[in-house]
Amino acid sequence: MEMSGEHQIPANRIEVWKALNDPIILQASIPGCTELEAIDSQHLKATVALKIGPVSAKFKGEVELSDIIEPESYRISGEGKGGVAGFAKGGANVTLEENNDGTLLKYNVDAKIGGKLAQLGSRLIDSTSKKLAGKFFDNFVKNFEAKED
């Protein structure tokens, strides 16, 4: 599965970069994230509970940040295992561009799923992925603005 998009964030690029690397803001922004722990500056451990169609799963995995060009871009990649529900692995290239309205965040995602999740059909997976991405950015902006207050 591949997906791309962009989201306008009403803040300067350095502030957005810091927030994208803040485990507290990320945990509050990722739908279903119950744990997010920084192992070091480039590795995180996460637990995410999701329901996709009829399949509920708790994914545990690790995330790595690479190809870091501060404060412009990085690649975030990882793999999560959800027991009998299956697995998800992949990554996203994230770029930040300053503009008059703040910062434009662009992303290109590539992901693979297996197990019961893979049996759900690409339409359900694609629509759910787009909803989760939208929810992440809505949450991210809300949590980012709350931190600024």
Burial of 139 (0-12, 13-18, 19+ CB in 10 A): middle
Judge: domain 2-148, CATH 3.40.50.2000: no
Tokens of 15: 């502030």
Strand-pair partners of 146:
none
21-31 pLDDT per residue, tens: 999 998 998 88
Residue of 42, 145, 45, 137 whose CA lies nearest to 96: 137
pLDDT of 14 reads 95
49-72 pLDDT per residue, tens: 888 888 888 989 998 999 999 999
54: left (phi over 0), alpha (psi -120 to 50) or beta: alpha
